Amino acid sequence: MYDTLLQLPLFQGLTKDDFNSLLMKLKLNFTKYQAGSTFINAGDACTDFVFLISGSVVSTRESKSSGFLMREVLEAPYLLEPFSMFGVSATYNHSYMAQTDTSALLIDKQYIYTELNKYSICGMNMLNMLSRKAQAVDAFIWSRKPFTLREQIIRFIRGLCELQTGEKYLQIKMNTLADLMNTTRLKISNELNDMAELGLIVLKRKEIYIPNLTKLIESAL
């Protein structure tokens, strides 16, 4: 448990002495979630930093206006939405369900202002996490415009994902995807079936399963 906690992004670089001192001051809430249980819903207030210590969870985000949703699997160790902790709307963007029996560490975010800020490395870790998120969004926006329909579809899928690796589930109708890509349903169907034949995706009813997002991205390079 001790070694796992030191792997978490907020604590990386802390000496063991500093970490022991910090643990004495923080109010730590260790929680377990049973497989299949939803423990965070989109729109919930971000009152705690939630660190996944063991297990895996399914993250889901739904587009209310366009009628599609993205699900992806996140493996521990992982910190859930640190970028949603602050700002005008400090609420979760995703819902989280335990895929396996999962253990998590919850730390009230108020301790960020009191105890964690006493350790400069923790402050730098937090800035690095937020900066990586902002830089990734900036790089994505300014990357070259896709030319082929396949590139457009892959870019759309990438833009919905928190992690650019692992398995993903995009629940969407072909008509909806065609509208978003500004093309016809027939062209979308043909392209998706070509991608399925290459083993890049698996087509299900109203769902596109991506077993390996990295492989999908590399196919368009």
Amino acid (1-letter code) at residue 89: S
Q: Identify the band that residue 1 occupies on the pLDDT scale cut at 50, 70 and 90.
A: low
Cα separation of 53 and 23, whole Å? Answer: 16
> CATH homologous superfamily of domain 2-141?
Jelly Rolls (2.60.120.10)
Tell whether omega for the bond before 77 is within 30 degrees of 0, i.e. cis.
yes
Can you tell me whether residue 82 is helix, strand or coil?
helix
Can you tell me whether residue 80 is helix, strand or coil?
coil
Output the pTM of the full model: 0.82
Domain ranges, ordered by start, for the chain: 2-141, 144-218
Question: Do 144-218 and 2-141 have the same topology in CATH?
Answer: no
Q: What angle do CA 28, 33, 39 make, to 5 degrees?
A: 90
Of 9, 175, 128, the closest CA to residue 192 belongs to 175
Q: Identify the band that residue 133 occupies on the pLDDT scale cut at 50, 70 and 90.
A: confident
Whole-number percent of the chain with pLDDT over 70: 99
CATH architecture of 144-218: Orthogonal Bundle (1.10)
pLDDT digits (tens, 9 = 90+) for 33-77: 999 999 999 999 999 989 899 999 999 999 988 789 999 999 998
122, 11 in Cβ contact below 8 A? yes
Of 188, 167, 206, the closest CA to residue 58 belongs to 167
Per-chain mean pLDDT for the chain:
88
53, 76 in Cβ contact below 8 A? yes
